[in-house]
Structure 1
Amino acid sequence: MIRSKLFFVLLLSAILAGCGTTSKRGGGGYYQDDGPDVNPPKNLQSIPNAQPRIEQHAPANMRPYTVMGKQYVPMTGNQPFRQTGTASWYGKKFHGRKTANGEIYDMYAMTAAHPTLPLPSYAKVTRPQTGQSIIVRINDRGPFHGGRIIDLSYVAATKLGLIGPGSGAVIVEAITHDDIRTGAYAQGSPTPVTIQSPATMQPVQDGYQSASTGKLTTISENSGVPQVYLQFGAFSAQQSANSLVDHLNQKISSVEFREAHVVPTNDLYRVQIGPYNSRTEALDAGRRIEQETGIVSSLAIR
C-alpha cells in the first residue's frame, strides 16, 4: 500500500511537470518538448472510438488528491457530468510511459486525461465549432493547467481537428454505467445533468446587429421551432449595448465559440448570444460566461 501511494505521488509529479508549460512549434500547440510523431500511422481518422464497458475502479484511483494547492475529488462511475472548456493534447513525450491508472500511454489509442472523471471511465467529447464528437477512455489524470479541462491523446485530437491549433473549445460528457447498460451513449447524448432554469424572457423580433460592423443581419426563419438565447442586458442606447458586446467578446473566446450580438427590438437594444440547441446547453454556457466575466444572463426564447 505504501509503494502504491508513493507511485501515485511520483506519477502526479511527472504529469504536473509535463502539463505546467506549453510551447508552440511548427504551427501547433503542445506541451514543452512534446509534439507529434515524425512518421505517424496513416488513416488516423479511421481509428474507431473507444468502446464503453463497465470497468472496476481501483480504490487508489478514487482517493482525493492535491496538485498545486488545489484538491481534486474523483467522481463515481454513475454520476452524470457535463463540462465545457478548452481541450489540449499530449503526444510523443508521454508515449510509452505509465498513466495515472498504471497503464501504458499510447498516443494512437482513443484515450484522454481528466482531473476528476473515474479511472477508468468513458466520455463523449464534442467540438461545438464543427459538431464532431468522439468517445474516449479516461485512463490518466490532468491537465493541471489553468483554462484546460481535458488532455486528449494524439489520435483523439487528430479526429477532432485540434492538432494544428493545439487546443480548442469542447464539451465533455461522462458516459455513466447506466448509459453503458442502456446503450444511451450510442443513441445520442449521455444522461443529461438536471439544472434549474430561470424564468424565460418574452420573444423578440428576428435580427441581430454586430457591434463591430453595425450591420443588421436578419435571422432565418426556424420553421416555428423556438430557439434559445442568452440575454445579458437591454439598453435604450445602442452604444451601451455595443460596449457590452465588445466587452463580452473580448472575455469569452476561451469558454464560448459563439459571439455576442445586438438584437434591436422596438425601442431597446438587447445583448444576446446564441442560438443554443436546448435550455440546458444555454444554461451551461451562461454559467461558464458568468464565471469568466461576472455578468449574469437570462434565457430568451424566440
Structure 2
Amino acid sequence: MTRTSLFVFSMLSLLSLSGCVSNSAKPLDYDRASGGGRYSILQDKAPDHDVKVDHLPELVPKWEPRSAGGNKSPYEVWGKKYWVMKSAKGYVAEGTASWYGLKFHGHTTSNGEKYDMYAFSAANKTLPIPTYLKVTNLGNGRTVIVRVNDRGPFHGNRLIDLSYAAAVRLGFQKKGLAHVRIQAITVPKGATYHPGLYTAGTSKKEVNPPIVLASEHAKEHHQPVKKSLSFNHLQAGAFSTKEAAERLKNRLIQVFDTQIKITIIKQSDGLFKVFLGPYSSDDALVLWQKKLQKAGFTKPIRVALIP
C-alpha cells in the first residue's frame, strides 16, 4: 500500500464513499485509490475479532538510516506537492489521527515494507521514513510509540494515520478519530534510547534518567562504580522497616505469583528497597513497568544495581 504510487480516486468514487462512511467509525478512504483491483476489500475496516495489544511490547526507538523508498522530495498527490523534512529532530505537533486496517494489511508501504495492522506503525505526509514518534491521545492521556513507514493521510487536515494496533493502544479504534500530540524521538547514531531521552518537547525536568544504586555488598568492599552499567532492575518501593518492604513483596507475589523475581536490599541510606529483576531486555523491563501500574502499584523506577 504505497500511497504516493496509487491511482487517484475519481470524483464519483469520492462522492459515493463520502455517502457511506460519514457516520461510521471506520477510517475514510478518500486518500486511497482502488489500486487497479489490488485490494480484495473495497472499504477499509477493522478486523472481525477483538484485537488485544496488552501483550505487545513498546517499541524501542533506535537510530536508523533514511530508507531508500518513501523519501522522495517533493512528491505530489492529487495535484498537491509535499516536501519531506530533512530531519525529525525537535518535531512536535497536535492534530487529528485516524487509523487504517484490514484493507491494507499485508500490502506494501511507501518504504517497501509490508503493512502490519497488528504492529505499532504510522503514516505521515512529511516526516522522514523511518521516524519514531511518541503519540499521546489528548482525550484520555494514553500513549504509544510508533514507527513511521508510510505516507498519508491525504484526507483533509489529518496529521497522522496509525496502525489499527496503535489505535487500540490509544483507545480510539471504535471512534475512528482522535486528537493527538506527536513528538519525534530521534536517537543519535550509536546511542541507546531511554524513556524520555531524545523525545521532542520533553523538558529536562520531565526526563527520569535511570538511578544508580550501590548494594550493601558493593559498599562494604569499596567497589568503584563501573562506567558501563545495566539498568535492568526496577525499584518498586523504599521503606524504613523491613516489615513494610516484606508486605509489598507479598502483595506483588499475590498478584503476579511466580512470574516475578523480587529482592529486598537494605541500602546505605537505611531504607529497605524492593527490587524487581533483572530483566533481559528493555522491552521486558518497560512491559513490567506497565504491568505494575495497571495492577495499581506505583510506577517503579528503573535502576542499576552494582553487584
TM interval, short-chain normalised: 0.5 to 0.7
| Mapping for residues 160-171 of structure 1, pairs under 5 Å | 160-171=170-181
Contact 2:94 2:179 in 1 (8 A): yes
Asked whether 1:12 is paired with 2:18, we answer no
Rg comparison, structure with higher value: 2
Contact 1:77 1:177 in 2 (8 A): no
Q: 1:94: how far off?
A: 0.2
Query: Which of residues 182, 192, 198 is equivalent to 2:201?
Result: 192
Contact 2:4 2:76 in 1 (8 A): no
Query: Which of residues 66, 85, 92 is equivalent to 1:57?
Result: 66
Residue identity in the other structure for 1:63: K
Asked whether 1:68 is paired with 2:78, we answer yes
Structure 1: give runs of 5+ residues left out of the alignment. Answer: 1-7, 195-302
Residue identity in the other structure for 2:28: Y
Asked whether 1:79 is paired with 2:71, we answer no
**Which residue of structure 2 lines up, in the alignment, with residue 31 of structure 1?**
28
| Cα 1:177–1:187 shift into 2, 3 Å | closer
Q: 1:81: how far off?
A: 0.5
| Cα 1:174–1:164 shift into 2, 3 Å | same
Residue identity in the other structure for 2:45: G
Asked whether 1:183 is paired with 2:193, we answer yes
**Structure with a larger share of its residues in strand:** 1
RMSD: 3.2
| Mapping for residues 124-273 of structure 1, pairs under 5 Å | 124-178=134-188, 181=191, 183=193, 186-187=195-196, 190-192=199-201
- What do the CA deviations read for 1:207-230 (whole angstroms, capped 9, x no partner)? xxxxxxxxxxxxxxxxxxxxxxxx
Residue identity in the other structure for 1:12: T
| Cα 1:97–1:193 shift into 2, 3 Å | same
Aligned length: 184
Contact 1:86 1:170 in 2 (8 A): yes
SS in 2 for 1:187: coil
Residue identity in the other structure for 2:125: P
Structure 2: give runs of 5+ residues left out of the alignment. Answer: 30-42, 204-307
Residue identity in the other structure for 1:127: N
Contact 2:84 2:126 in 1 (8 A): yes
Contact 2:26 2:46 in 1 (8 A): no
Residue identity in the other structure for 1:99: T
With normalisation by structure 1, the TM-score equals 0.54
Bigger Cα displacement from structure 2, 106-115 vs 174-183: 174-183
Q: 1:63: how far off?
A: 2.1
4+ residue runs of structure 1 moved beyond 4 angstroms? 15-23
| Counterpart-to-counterpart distance in 1, 2:190 and 2:120 | 17
Contact 1:117 1:174 in 2 (8 A): no
Residue identity in the other structure for 2:91: F
Residue identity in the other structure for 2:172: L
Q: 1:116: how far off?
A: 1.0
| Counterpart-to-counterpart distance in 2, 1:86 and 1:131 | 15
| Cα 1:124–1:158 shift into 2, 3 Å | same
- What do the CA deviations read for 1:133-185 (whole angstroms, capped 9, x no partner)? 1100100100011121100000000111111110010001111134993635x
